[in-house]
Amino acid sequence: MSKAVEVFSLFTDFDISLFRSGKHFRLYEKFGSQTVFLDGRQGVYFAVWAPNAKKISVIGNFNGWNPYSHELYVRWDESGIWEGVIFNIGIGEVYKYRIETYSGEILEKADPFSLTMEIPPKTASVVSTTWHQWQDDKWMRDRHERNRLDRPMSVYELHIGSWIRDPYNPDRLLSYREIAEKLVPYVKSLGFTHVEFMPIMEHPYYPSWGYQITGYFAASSRYGTPQELMYLIEQLHKNEIGVILDWVPSHFPGDAHGLYRFDGSALYEHEDIRKGFHPDWKSYIFNYGRNEVRSFLISNALFWLDRYHIDGLRVDAVASMLYLDYSRNEGEWIPNEFGGRENLEAVYFLKEFNEAVYSNYPDVQTIAEESTSWPGVSKPTYDGGLGFGMKWMMGWMHDTLNYFKEDPIHRKYHHSQLTFSSVYAYHEHFMLPLSHDEVVYGKQSLVNKMSGDEWQKFANLRALYLFMYTFSGTKLIFMGGEFGQTSEWNVNQSLDWHLMAFPPHKGLFEFLKKLNATYKEQPALYEKAFSPEGFEWLELNDADNSVLAYVRKGHDRHNDLVVVLNLTPVVREGYRIGVPSKGNWEVIFNSDELEYFGSGVNIGNIKSDAIHWMNQDNSVSLKLPPLGGVILKLTT
């Protein structure tokens, strides 16, 4: 055995016991490459899990990629962990693990716990650190107030490499620090409460958008160092903006340097492709039944919350995890032990993940992208649920977009697409998403999904946003949707920022800015966002006129709001709406204002009449703007 590697371990017997039982959730403190000082000498401690390996050596620039000079030691406890210290190397060292299997296969693998990887297409790991002198104490101290389910949450989803690029060199990706200088004031001016970054973990294939991850613990080097990403997060926090990360525990790619057949065996995935291969994404499914794999994944979730001060995790493709037959034909999947299609091991993992997150970080949120009717996704695990804080409301999204695609003359036949979701809106804690998935692959941009000419398209989109922000649940809009990006999202180029010079786009931007402000200012829009007590229909059956009216309620009835939507291009004079209280009602928001590129229909303040209407003792007569909506609030 090479004396160039010294025997040393960061693992206690208790660590090993926890790891092997699937209960060690801080593995990033033990595995990977850790700088150490032993006997006055600086070195790097390496630890890697590879139980099927015959030999493992660390290769890199420091030893000329010599496969024999720096062999690691396998632990004596049958844990499958190889480890050792190499002296006289440190931060910045490039390395891989050379793995020789018992079958004679030679593999060169990146470190699964690497904190930094080379910029793709290079694939080696880099000895790194996540040390940072954080300056977001106030945010971290107070975020339990910001992240509560009875507080406003409007999320700006973005892909960090295509939000904006160097205008003088469009092929150049901006660094995390450069993005911070532009993104933070922009999001703050728009009034979003949170940003959501599409996956920023290292991924070799850029057009995967980050969803095919090889470096689960490595912030993508395409945009800079871990500390530069921390600076971006810190600046958002200093401006009272929370940060949600997309997290992908559902699958990983088959790149030769990644997790796939890491030690020559199906270590992280299943051996049987009926359980271990994802037919849609040509990727590999984690083996949630393996204790060490669950420890790896939950440690990864906590890593981002711990080291990067992340405020929430949006878990991708949960439906694909829950069902053994997801996207599979008969004979292509294996039933569970009871003969069912539910992936019981994945269910156990998701519950354990949520319990670990909320027990360690009770002031964050987990959000499930789950597209089926699986019961109790956002119910606590002690009540039989999966334990997520929220779930994307995919049904609302599809129904609403399909409705707004319709020509207004036909909308009366599709009226239920806007009202039906209220039947199940309180089965879960729902987030209403208009995400990246809806503006790619020929689906068109949001504004071009809308019916009509240019004016009508923008009016429709403003009405859709008003409906979204005044309906129950939290909100998410993908980048470009705030100013009416006309082309589909393209991961290889910047958003079309030049459009902001044109009145329809500038008007939509100003509209959304005011809508975010109104959402945060009006408790009725968020205090009971997940309760049927916070929502009451006034008019849901007027399909002929395509008019909807409803009340949003908070804890104080004096804060109640009345929302009225007219989803045809016809101005409706004298439309009577029941109201929950008598007095003067003020229009606090009108999507048809001239500054928003609307038609400027003036409604003014309205005094209620003692006329029983829509099951209310009082009512008002309104002039409804075309393809628009208004929010009313009682003033006296």
- What are the residue numbers of the active site? 316, 369
Looking at 7-120, list the stretches that DSSP marks H as alpha helix, in order from N- to C-terminal side. Answer: 13-20
Strands 154-158 and 125-126: unpaired
Residue 242 contacts residue 311 (beta carbons within 8 Å): yes
Task: Report the C-alpha gap between 604 and 586 in whole angstroms.
Answer: 7
Location of structure tokens 């009272």: 240
Closest CA to 455 of 502, 517, 401: 502
3-class state of residue 83 by DSSP: strand
Give the torsion sign (CA, 373, 475, 524, 571): negative
Closest CA to 369 of 410, 314, 449, 294: 314
Separation of CA 304 from chain center: 13
Task: Report the C-alpha gap between 184 and 88 in whole angstroms.
Answer: 40
Distances in Å between the Cα of 334 and the Cα atoms of 270, 328, 350 are: 12, 10, 20
Amino acid, res. 531: S
Task: Report the C-alpha gap between 164 and 497 in whole angstroms.
Answer: 8
Task: Report the C-alpha gap between 71 and 279 in whole angstroms.
Answer: 38
Task: Report the C-alpha gap between 577 and 118 in whole angstroms.
Answer: 62
In the Cβ-directed half-sphere of 438, how many Cα atoms lie within 13 Å? 28
Distances in Å between the Cα of 313 and the Cα atoms of 216, 249, 368, 427 are: 14, 11, 9, 21
Amino acid, res. 63: N
Location of structure tokens 């890593």: 303
**H or E element in which residue 449 lies:** helix 446-449
Residue 125 contacts residue 61 (beta carbons within 8 Å): no
Q: What are phi and psi of 438, to 5 degrees?
A: -90, 0
Burial class (CB in 10 A: 0-12, 13-18, 19+), 103: exposed
261: alpha, beta or left? (left if phi > 0; alpha if psi -120 to 50): left
Residues counted in the chain:
636
Task: Report the C-alpha gap between 305 and 364 in whole angstroms.
Answer: 8
Task: Report the C-alpha gap between 1 and 84 in whole angstroms.
Answer: 12
**H or E element in which residue 320 lies:** helix 318-322
Task: Report the C-alpha gap between 294 and 223 in whole angstroms.
Answer: 29
Instruction: Pull the structure tokens for residue 448.
Output: 């071009």
In DSSP terms, 59 is beta-bridged to: 96
